[in-house]
Amino acid sequence: MKKIMTILIVLLTVSITSCKEAATDGPIKMVTTDEMQQLLELEDIQLVDVRTPEEYTGGHIANSQNIDYNSPTFDSEIEKLDKSKPVIIYCKSGGRSAKCAKKLEDAGFVKIYDLNGGISEWKHKELAIEI
């Protein structure tokens, strides 16, 4: 019985570990505010705010474009982006951008960065916002 339990524990551990590795190999990567700032400085990146136009005009990250995730034209708008260039997406706190990241992945984008905590985290770190 002890051998069976040991084998089951080893199999479970290997299974969990392999799933974790598979999840991080995809084109979507969560980034912190610090990592995002570095990416914006080093790479030619498309920065997309997926909040509503009202939220966007209330304050947004510089050089971002607004493509409202809830808009009926969302799918056609993301098709206008360059799939070969990295994209950073953000929303208010991360919910909409996570859904958007999956849509971008399904659409064939090669590199997708999702800002962890969204613009709320950006503001919390007292980073610059344009109005």
pLDDT digits (tens, 9 = 90+) for 21-38: 334 568 999 999 999 999
The per-residue DSSP string of 67-117 comes to --TTSTTHHHHHTTS-TTS-EEEE-SSSHHHHHHHHHHHHTT-S-EEEETT
CA 91 – CA 89 distance, rounded (Å): 7
Which CATH number covers residue 75?
Answer: 3.40.250.10
Residue 105 domain boundaries: 26-124
Question: Does 131 fall in a domain?
Answer: no
> What residue type is assigned to position 29 of the chain?
K
Q: Name the token pair of 110.
A: 């090669």
Question: Does 31 fall in a domain?
Answer: yes
Phi-psi region of 63 (alpha: psi -120 to 50; beta: other; left: phi over 0): left
Q: What are phi and psi of 53, to 5 degrees?
A: -60, -35
pTM value is 0.79
Residue 5 has pLDDT above 70, yes or no: no
pLDDT at residue 6, rounded to an integer: 46
pLDDT digits (tens, 9 = 90+) for 48-90: 999 999 999 999 999 999 999 999 999 999 999 999 999 999 9
Q: Which residues are catalytic?
A: 91
- For 90, other C-beta atoms within 10 Å of its C-beta total 30
